[in-house]
């Protein structure tokens, strides 16, 4: 089973990379792009067929390693 983990900077954290990307898009004429936040995306191949187990395991590794709770939060999707 595959779990997808999206790690993003918390709203209170300034994202200089996202700001630079937004500035670049504005200079390309995409004024409709109001803001950009850059994050990280992980695909975890898990040795389980149980969605709830997969979600729990993904959350555990996200808490332990993939995300730093001081600056980041995460969201998990699991294949159904």
Partner 1 sequence: MKFAVVVFPGSNCDEDAYHAVKDVLGQHAEYIWHKDTDLKGADVVILPGGFAHGDYLRTGAMARFSPIMREVERVAAQGAPVLGICNGFQVLLEAGLLPGAMLRNDALKFRCEHVHIRVEQTDTPFTLACRPHQVLRIPIAHGEGNYFAEPDVIARLEANRQIVFRYTDAAGDVRESANPNGSKASIAGLCNEARNVVGLMPHPERACESMLGSADGLVIFESVVAALKTGAFGGSTGPALQTVG
Which range binds partner 1 by CB under 8 A, 5-13, 24-32, 49-57? 5-13
Q: Does residue number 41 form part of the binding site for partner 1 (CB under 8 A)?
A: no
Q: Does residue number 31 form part of the binding site for partner 1 (CB under 8 A)?
A: no
Of 2, 13, 3, nearest in space to 68 by CA: 13
Torsion sign (Cα): 58, 62, 66, 72: positive
Which range binds partner 1 by CB under 8 A, 26-34, 48-56, 63-71? 63-71
Which distant-in-sequence residues (6+ apart) come within 8 Å of 16 by Cβ? none
Binding-site ranges for partner 1 (CB under 8 A)? 9, 12-14, 16-17, 20, 65-66, 68, 70-71
């Amino acid at each position: 089973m595959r779990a997808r983990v999206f790690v993003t900077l918390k709203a209170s954290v300034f994202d200089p990379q996202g700001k630079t990307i937004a500035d670049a898009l504005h200079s390309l004429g995409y004024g409709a792009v109001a803001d950009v936040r850059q994050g990280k995306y992980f695909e975890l191949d898990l040795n389980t067929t149980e969605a709830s187990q997969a979600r729990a395991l993904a959350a555990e590794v996200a808490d332990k390693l993939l995300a730093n709770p001081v600056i980041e939060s995460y969201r998990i999707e699991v294949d159904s």
